[in-house]
């Protein structure tokens, strides 16, 4: 996901919020899918709205590749930038915090307060670096489950997320179907295409080729800023679309009337990518980027939970699904969502699907969209009502 979405604090949001931390696996390490284990594990998280006395109104929001726990609200009255899904979470919004208790946690392996490669390795006292074990989406979801148990939530009204967040949603539905009443995977897929893995590999190579990366051991010296910035630039190209780029930049020149006849950022699109790269370096850890992209590439729901069959992966439980794709998303194209829908139908699941016409590419799920908000709120309201009436 990108910072392409320009958020506006409109006064109708969840207001002041606080980042919280939950630490577990202090005495017994947390076993990972790879066979390694890790502990202690800390997850940074935020919550919005009130948990109902019977804990029946909890909605878990899963963030995308480089997102974090800060999905909505502001940290202080002077905070200029609210959470990444401010447009969707708040009173009267798609995820209505007057009705639902929304939880968003930074993923395991992240670098926004959760345990990741930049965290101190208890064995050495120094940052893990490449000693950090390789993770899967399944590990991230299992860690989220530990957090929810800590919060007293044994069943989720819904799990919602886009992109890599959507993969977590699918993992939740396949791994813990009895805990998930509704699942809303947006702009996502049951596994990455070769094209997608290729983009991630080029981004990872940009990082490891940076001399400052130093085999992942850079925490007390210069960081691989250039490599990480290039990785981010590659990401940004994939988050947009040909149409979105044409519309936003065209061949427009940046702060000049003619070519410089050098390798300066002459074009607006170059300047934009460089700016996004620089901004990203300020907040993100390069090793985290390696681990998280790897986890996303390894994700294959049918292989992990269905012995190769996506239908079988969804065979358990009675989760209701709302699958949404966006017409100009070339990173997670609509055909991948349709494959998901087909498997869900074959598994006898209650599934809704909509391909939203949008020109903004993959990033569309982050932008203000009354249509998307309407789909989510309608689906959730019916789910909650049917649950209360005992017909789900």
Partner 1 sequence: MRYDLDLIASWITPGSRVLDLGCGKGELLEFLHETKQVRGFGVEQDESNAAAGISRGVSILQGDLSQEVGDYPDNAFDFVVLSQTLQQVPEPLKLLQKILRVGRKAVVSFPNFAHWRNRCQLFFQGQAPVTPELPYDWHDTPNIRVITFKDFSRFCTRHLITVHEAVAIKTGPSSRSGLVITRLPNLLANYGIFLLSKQ
By the criterion CB under 8 A, which residues form the site for partner 1?
A: 320, 322, 338, 341-342, 345-346, 348, 350-357, 371, 374-375, 377-379, 381-383, 385, 391
Q: Closest distance between partner 1 and the C-beta of residue 345, in Å?
A: 5
Cα separation, 215 vs 277, in Å, equals 21
CB nearer to partner 1: give 281 or 372.
372
Q: Closest distance between partner 1 and the C-beta of residue 391, in Å?
A: 5
Residue with tokens 């909650």: 384
Name the catalytic one among 63, 196, 200, 362: 362
Tokens of 334: 């609509």
Q: Closest distance between partner 1 and the C-beta of residue 386, in Å?
A: 8
Give the DSSP per-residue string, 350-384.
Answer: EEEEEEE--SSGGGGGGS--HHHHHHHHHHHHHHH
Tokens of 18: 């606080």
86 phi, psi to nearest 5 deg: -55, -35
Going by C-alpha positions, the residue among 84, 362, 373, 356 that lies closest to residue 243 is 362
Q: Closest distance between partner 1 and the C-beta of residue 141, in Å?
A: 25
Q: Closest distance between partner 1 and the C-beta of residue 384, in Å?
A: 10
Residue 242 contacts residue 329 (beta carbons within 8 Å)? no
Pairing of strands 58-62, 101-105: parallel
Name the catalytic one among 163, 325, 369, 377: 163
CB nearer to partner 1: give 174 or 351.
351
CB nearer to partner 1: give 149 or 357.
357
Active site (annotated) includes residue 56: no
Q: Closest distance between partner 1 and the C-beta of residue 88, in Å?
A: 14
Give the DSSP per-residue string, 191-211.
Answer: B--HHHHHHHHHHHHHHHTSG
Cα separation, 10 vs 320, in Å, equals 32
DSSP secondary-structure letter at 276?
H
Active site (annotated) includes residue 163: yes
Using DSSP's 3-state secondary structure scheme, residue 42 falls into: strand
Tokens of 166: 């959507």
Going by C-alpha positions, the residue among 369, 164, 327, 366 that lies closest to residue 241 is 327
Cα separation, 82 vs 297, in Å, equals 29
Residue 159 contacts residue 62 (beta carbons within 8 Å)? yes
Q: Closest distance between partner 1 and the C-beta of residue 389, in Å?
A: 8
100 phi, psi to nearest 5 deg: -115, 150
Cα separation, 273 vs 298, in Å, equals 27
Catalytic residues: 163, 329, 362
């Amino acid at each position: 996901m990108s910072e392409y979405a320009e958020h506006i604090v409109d006064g109708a949001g969840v207001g002041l919020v606080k980042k919280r931390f939950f630490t577990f696996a202090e005495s017994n390490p947390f076993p990972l899918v790879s066979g390694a284990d890790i502990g202690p594990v800390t997850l940074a998280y935020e919550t919005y709205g009130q948990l109902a006395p019977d804990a029946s109104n909890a909605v878990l929001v899963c963030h995308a590749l480089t997102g974090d726990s800060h999905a909505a609200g502001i940290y202080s009255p002077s905070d200029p930038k609210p959470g990444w899904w401010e447009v969707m979470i708040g009173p009267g919004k798609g995820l209505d915090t007057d009705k639902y208790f929304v939880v968003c946690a930074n993923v395991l392996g992240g670098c926004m307060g959760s345990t990741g490669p930049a965290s101190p390795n208890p064995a050495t006292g120094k940052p893990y670096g490449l000693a950090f074990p390789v993770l899967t989406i399944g590990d991230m979801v299992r860690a989220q489950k530990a957090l929810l148990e800590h919060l007293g939530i044994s069943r989720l009204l819904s799990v919602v997320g886009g992109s890599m967040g959507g993969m977590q949603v699918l993992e939740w539905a396949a791994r813990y179907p009895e805990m998930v009443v509704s699942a809303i995977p947006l702009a996502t897929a049951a596994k990455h295409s070769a094209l997608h893995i290729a983009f991630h590999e080029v981004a990872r190579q940009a990082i490891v080729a940076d001399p400052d990366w130093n085999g992942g051991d850079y925490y007390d010296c210069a960081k691989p800023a250039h490599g990480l910035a290039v990785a981010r630039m590659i990401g940004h190209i994939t988050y947009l679309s040909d149409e979105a780029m044409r519309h936003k930049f065209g061949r427009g020149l940046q702060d000049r009337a003619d070519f410089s006849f050098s390798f300066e950022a002459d074009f607006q699109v170059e300047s934009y990518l460089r700016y996004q790269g620089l901004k990203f370096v300020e907040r993100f850890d390069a090793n985290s980027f390696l681990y998280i992209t790897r986890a996303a590439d390894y994700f294959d729901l049918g292989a992990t939970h269905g012995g190769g069959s996506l239908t079988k992966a969804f065979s358990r439980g009675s989760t209701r699904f709302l699958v949404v794709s966006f017409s100009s998303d070339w990173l997670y194209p609509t055909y991948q969502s349709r494959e998901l829908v087909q498997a869900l139908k074959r598994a006898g699941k209650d599934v809704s699907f909509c391909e939203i016409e949008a020109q903004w590419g993959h990033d569309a799920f982050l932008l203000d969209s009354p249509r998307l908000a309407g789909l989510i709120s309608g689906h959730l309201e019916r789910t909650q009502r049917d649950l209360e009436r005992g017909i789900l």
